[in-house]
A and B are shown apart, each in its own frame.
Chain A
Amino acid sequence: MGDKKHFKRVLISAACTLAFAATETTYAANWLMLQGTEDPASASRADVWGYVQVKYEKDYSDANATGGYVPPKLLGPELDSQDGFNIPRATIGVRGTGFPLDSRINYFALLEMGNNGVTYPGGAFAKLLDGSVTLNYIPGARVRAGLFKYPGAEEGLQAIQLFDYINFSEASNALLLERFPNKGFTSCTGVTAPCNAATGNVGPYTEPQLQGGASLNTLYTPVGAFRDVGVQVFDAFDVGNDWEVSYAAMIGNGNGVEFNNSDGEYDKYLYLSGEKKFGGKGPWAEGLKFFAWGQWGTRLLDLTNDSTANAKPYDRNRAGLGVKYLAKPFRATAEYMKADGMIWEGPDKPNFYFTSPANGNGANAKGSGWYVEGGWYIPNTRFELDARFDTLTRNENRNDQYTFDKWTLGVQYHFNPKTRVTLNYEIRNFTCDSGVAPCTNAGATSPNYNLEGVGNKIGVQLTMVY
């Protein structure tokens, strides 16, 4: 009992300390605060901003033995070519305080008009990426409501216009950048067999069925864009000695940038970080940050391709932790993340179809991945050198386990703090490596039939922030 009381007292005094400390909080490279709040008594009524990215990419992958190419060998979001120019991002945003005398309310809105996984699937000219209002009334518990980036992995949470590479790590791409199931998957019209009503929620399906039912090419909803629609409670606290502690707790629809909650359940998110601040301001603030996060949700999915709408909820859980260090001229980041359920599947390509029924399917699969990267801002020049190694293990401990390894070597030239060009060369090694069938199958029945031809990729991207 005494211990309980003591614990309560400690909690209360910690809460009070944090609440009072909140008024002294500074605004370092803290994405929760940078994206969710404005500088008190200083922010504009409406600050217009945005960014544009133009890129050229060429994929050097080879066709399979029968001349076919699969998505890792093709450029997104169309997945129908191996080289070309694109404008992946073209945004315009506005943020500030609606009533500048009152710093307790601020807003953030961003519209995406680039050609990417958000706009392409629905054929949208533009898509709202962010639209949120933050209420800063309760010390230590700011409330942000609307559509915005959920608290999670650094690669997803950070401002994309400041991201040091053209493409995400394989783990972030496959486990976190969510692709949503095709709701039209139940149809068996025109399909001879096997529409599996008897076995419940697992195939077997023929590959044409699966591709026709739920391939990435036919997805009609935007990718999740590391965002959700919901409510977040968060804040950051100066705890002394230049250390800042931040937290966030959120619930959301779990449907990315779409506004419906089709499964009737809410995703839950938790985030905690501690950062030793070295100096600087805004997104370029220097420091050493440790962070951990988790998210828990369900997705409604129909795996029984049997002409009957019998969707079931499947768990989709994610967790991760990492560290980021920035003290110019050096930068280093490392993140680890793991996933349980609703993993974007495919035997040999990152499509969202569920196959290899003998081994289970992506709805029940597990995966994990990590990356480590570093940057060197060459002193007295405008050049920056970057290097990243990332790896993803998908379908862990299953017969169809895959490993996706990638090295990304990069050079950036900063014309000014808001305009830069990025050159990336990706060295990719994707393989089905369980050591048993189907990985060891010969010919076209092996996933490696397609993966062996995955080659390197080069990209050049111009980024301008305004």
Chain B
Amino acid sequence: MLKYFRSIFLVVSSLLLIAAAPSALAEDKSQTEYKYVLHIDDMDPSKQELILNNAQNLLDAYPPGDVEVEIVAYGPGLRLMFAENVNARRIDALSQSGVKFTACGNTLKGMAKLLGEEPKLNPAATVVPGGIVRIGQLVKQGYIYIKP
């Protein structure tokens, strides 16, 4: 009987270990040597292109997996992450290459008030409560802060 329980325990433990593996890998990934947070907060169209160029250049500069890039947008800069943005295809491509897009929830609420409806965001964007808070957290985690 004990043998039977021990076998079940071993099987369950193995399964748990396997299940835990991806998160362990993710933690390893968070230990990436180079981590950048790119910040956009104005509506200048050339800044939108520039920040996407920055992200692409960072990806190109390091071997795959050696760099993490997160773009955080708040204020008027949030237009970059609107679903209809003219750069939407580039954003999709960068997202698939690992670039994270983070949208400020506070800005989103403010814009919803002005527009009468919440603007539709690019599916690649993740909403956080506060963009500025997110930047602070990332800097504390060792991210290099860049504002093009």
Contact = CB atoms under 8 A, between A and B. Distances in A.
B45 A44 contact: yes
Nearest to A27: B86
Contact of B43 (A23, A27, A40, A45): A45
A102 B120 CA distance: 11
Contact of B76 (A23, A27, A100, A103): A100
B93 to A, nearest CB: 14
A136 to B, nearest CB: 10
B48 A101 contact: no
Interface string B43-56: 11100100000000
A39 interface: yes
B82 A40 contact: yes
Given A100-B76, A102-B115, A44 B85 contact: no
Contacts, number: 37
B44 A40 contact: no
Interface residues of A, number: 13
B86 to A, nearest CB: 4
Contacts of B43: 44-45, 100
Contact of A42 (B45, B111, B115, B119): B45
Nearest to B116: A102
Interface in B14-70: 43-45, 48
Mostly helix, strand, loop or mixed at chain A's interface? Answer: loop
B115 A101 contact: yes
Contact of B45 (A23, A27, A39, A101): A39
A79 interface: no
A378 interface: no
B76 A41 contact: no
Interface in A267-312: none
A190 B48 CA distance: 69
A43 interface: yes
A40 B86 CA distance: 5
Nearest to B114: A101
Given A100-B76, A100-B79, A42 B86 contact: yes
A41 B115 contact: no
A43 B45 contact: yes
Contact of A41 (B44, B80, B114): B80
Nearest to B83: A41
A381 B76 CA distance: 41
A40 B85 contact: yes
B87 interface: yes
B79 A101 contact: yes
Given A39-B45, A42-B79, A44-B44, A23 B84 contact: yes
Nearest to B43: A100
A45 B85 CA distance: 15
A250 B84 CA distance: 27
Interface in B89-148: 111, 114-115, 119
B84 A103 contact: yes
A42 B114 contact: no
B141 to A, nearest CB: 30
B78 to A, nearest CB: 9
Question: In this complex, which of A40, A41, A45, A102 has the most chain B Cβ atoms within 10 angstroms of its Cβ?
Answer: A41
17 contacts: A23-B84, A40-B82, A40-B86, A41-B79, A41-B80, A41-B82, A41-B86, A42-B45, A42-B79, A42-B85, A42-B87, A43-B45, A44-B45, A100-B43, A101-B115, A103-B82, A103-B84
Interface of B: 43-45, 48, 76, 79-80, 82, 84-87, 111, 114-115, 119
Interface of A: 23, 27, 39-45, 100-103
Given A39-B86, A100-B43, 11 more contacts: A27-B86, A40-B84, A40-B86, A41-B82, A41-B84, A41-B85, A44-B45, A101-B111, A101-B115, A101-B119, A103-B82
- Top 8 nearest A-B pairs (CB, nearest first) are A41-B82, A39-B86, A41-B85, A40-B84, A42-B45, A41-B79, A42-B86, A41-B84
